[in-house]
Chains A and B, each alone.
Chain A
């Protein structure tokens, strides 16, 4: 197996990015954003960080196509779980109110 040697520079850069994103998380937490933006910002930062870790620290960027397919499949399955579960939660309130039929 051929191992891809990642230059230290890249690791430092990724580490710096992770630290910067952590700082942003802390900074943004000081403000109460309108609508659902609090969670949108927090999750966007979290997903970005996770992606950096998976691509560089876990070497997926330099791995074979097969490994990349496995990683994507794992995430895709998580998406299946979240989306189909959400199909229940987001539609629970949509049912029209039951019209009561009073006994004659």
Chain B
């Protein structure tokens, strides 16, 4: 590696941020990094919208009576919360934001394989979001995010088709992103960047992309069938016309269960990166962690029937799906064990990204193990459609996916913006999120086990204490989200200038300047090292000189 020093007072170098300042230069950009930022702004907006719905839900549930909103409004609130969070935040979050920004840099490429398709995917996403938002403002939808017939097809008088169309359209954006990433990883790796030198984040993105391509079309066609059922009554889900409402559930969950892995696999990739960096150790069992991503993607397609245990699905199919659902715990456990083995005897530092990653491991463990409760045929009958389920999937989606999103945001913030965030505040916020999250959702496990059904706006008075705890936790959680919003925005202007590699991490993204130049690297990097190969002499250079070593690639 070169030891050239970047001159501090050099004229402002061209980065992807100052390469064009006009609105047009952003809206017509083909730069994967800028498209990542466009997605970042969009999905963060939808996270805020989904969060407002969540706040109203928690406020309503503060008391056993329905005193804040009507039953009908409450139905719309939890439906809009689910739809917004799942389809317009969680699914695009890590792949479309961090995948877009980082994947080409991590493999040493200048851009994704199809930059125009990449920009198109954002416009398609926004078009879908526009339809869904129209439905939201016109009056919303009250079917639950799952759109189960016969309610969604025959009875609901809310904006089912407009919302469904929004999700249908946004789905194509997901497919385009997946397609782009698969081709990019196959064809655009830098010389020497072999498959087993790829960062585990890239493996995770690859597995996620497979699910996006193989699963999303099924959701699209299923929502189209709901629209056709509502408009012309084709009868595919209507028993009076020879259809079967349970068929909808099969088709819907064929996508929507793997969609959980669309949300959590990229998060696992993020956690692998962070754990390695802040333990200063290569990931224990690299190949096992890499292949476990693929295993989760594949086995994840075989388990959807566990959502149908109480929906008159054949009990024999139930047994099969139960068994297969248990099987998906194996690759998940491989990841958790390998992360903890990586921590063992590591040189651990507790920076904010690491706090989020450690939080992820603990919360994903609880979320995953309670998933096994739900995959058990007998126990599921007891807790099906109760708050136990709500708590379980929030441990996966908030405790897992969202914590990893925040972890990724902090970890790569210096790379994306060229500024360092205030570490003390960030650590404090990470702890607030962890405490707030557990206080919000742990009581819901107990509520569910005691028999409180989900999707009810009133409840028996004996449940109030646990609901109050949950709402209190949600308030703390909200503070934990507002804090990063404030200090990250502050750091954009006032944060200290970030060096190329503030974490002394490995990975090609740390070998280029912060923020990266438009073409990522001045010349194509030649990779001669494995992922997570921490090299002491490099460490000495960076610490001793206090200068990033990216000069060899950015030509500063």
Contact = CB atoms under 8 A, between A and B. Distances in A.
B317 A88 contact: yes
B316 A91 contact: yes
A81 B321 CA distance: 13
A91 to B, nearest CB: 4
A66 B186 contact: yes
A95 B214 contact: no
Contact of A88 (B186, B214, B218, B305): B305
Nearest to B301: A80
A92 interface: yes
B314 A91 contact: yes
B41 interface: no
B382 interface: no
Nearest to A87: B317
Contact of A94 (B218, B312, B316, B320): B316
B302 A91 contact: no
B186 A74 contact: no
Contacts of B304: 84
Contacts of A74: 214
B302 A88 contact: no
Interface in B85-130: none
Q: Which of A66, A74, A80 has the most CB of B within 10 A?
A: A80
B314 A92 contact: yes
A95 B301 contact: no
Nearest to B244: A89
A84 B314 contact: no
A77 interface: yes
Given A77-B214, A88-B308, A95 B250 contact: no
A42 interface: no
Contact of B314 (A66, A80, A81, A87): A87
A88 B313 contact: yes
B262 to A, nearest CB: 15
Interface residues of A, number: 15
A94 B254 CA distance: 24
A73 B211 CA distance: 12
A87 to B, nearest CB: 4
Interface in B243-275: 246-247, 250-251, 254
A69 to B, nearest CB: 11
A88 B311 CA distance: 11
Contacts of B301: 77, 80
A32 B530 CA distance: 65
B250 A85 contact: yes
B315 interface: yes
Contacts of A91: 314-317
Nearest to B218: A81
Interface in A46-104: 66, 73-74, 77, 80-81, 84-85, 87-89, 91-92, 94-95
A66 B305 CA distance: 31
Contact of B316 (A77, A81, A87): A87
Contacts of B316: 87, 91, 94-95
A37 B186 CA distance: 44
A43 to B, nearest CB: 19
B143 to A, nearest CB: 22
Nearest to B247: A85
A88 B254 contact: no
A31 B304 CA distance: 40
Contacts of A92: 312-314
Interface string B479-502: 000000000000000000000000
B320 A87 contact: yes
Nearest to A90: B314
Contacts of A88: 246, 250, 305, 308, 313-314, 317
A35 B315 CA distance: 28
A86 to B, nearest CB: 9
A80 B302 CA distance: 7
Q: Which of A73, A88, A95 has the most CB of B within 10 A?
A: A88
A94 B529 CA distance: 58
A87 B186 CA distance: 36
22 contacts: A66-B186, A73-B214, A77-B214, A77-B301, A81-B218, A81-B251, A81-B254, A84-B302, A84-B304, A85-B254, A87-B316, A87-B317, A88-B246, A88-B305, A88-B308, A88-B313, A88-B314, A88-B317, A89-B314, A91-B315, A91-B316, A95-B316
Q: Give 7 closest A-B pairs by Cβ, nearest first.
A: A88-B317, A91-B316, A91-B314, A92-B314, A87-B317, A85-B250, A77-B214
Given A84-B302, A84-B317, 7 more contacts: A84-B304, A84-B305, A85-B247, A87-B317, A88-B250, A91-B315, A91-B317
Interface of A: 66, 73-74, 77, 80-81, 84-85, 87-89, 91-92, 94-95
